[in-house]
Amino acid sequence: MRCPYCGNEDTQVKDSRPTEDSSAIRRRRICSACGGRFTTFERVQLRDLVVVKKSGRKVPFDREKLSRSVYTALRKRAVEPERIERMISGIVRQLESLGEGEVTSDQIGEYVMDGLKGLDDVAFVRFASVYKNFSAADDFRSFLTELGNGKSARHEAGDDD
């Protein structure tokens, strides 16, 4: 692992332990050249995933891109980072357990929408506005009406949250 301070390749692991949700291994490292200390997180990757875009183009799955889009939707919302990371790790596990090497961007979007719906309503609507490509206020109105109809149908069935 390259030192972020001096670029030296010779670093030593001083401590390793799993993260609280066991989705990664946290390693404390020290650089033999400059003495700099830093932390790395290593995640187990079960399978190399390829994302098939709407255009048909294929790109490698990027967990960081998924994370950025989730954190953008949740910007300035009072949701604990641990809950966000658990949701992101859950989405990645779902994708990897599909048994396919390729996933569509639509599949990823639906998993994110499902996850955000359980975390924060505002973030859910923010993400949906980008994912579903809202272009006018009426798009929001229609979406919120649909969302409201779905909730009222659940309440009528006695399936309250």
Domain count, the chain: 2
* pLDDT, mean of each 10-residue run, the chain (161 residues): 90 89 85 94 74 93 93 92 90 86 92 92 88 79 75 41 43
Q: Which domain holds residue 89?
A: 50-156
Pairing state between β 24-31 and 37-43: antiparallel
Tracing tokens 């009406």 back to the chain, one arrives at 145
Asked if residues 20 and 11 have their Cβ atoms less than 8 Å apart, the reply is no
H helix or E strand, kind and range, residue 128: helix 121-131
Give domain status of residue 2, yes or no.
Answer: no
β partners of residue 43:
24
Q: Residue 15: which H helix or E strand, with range? A: strand 11-18
Whether residues 113 and 39 fall in one domain: no
> 142-154: per-residue pLDDT in tens?
877 777 766 533 3
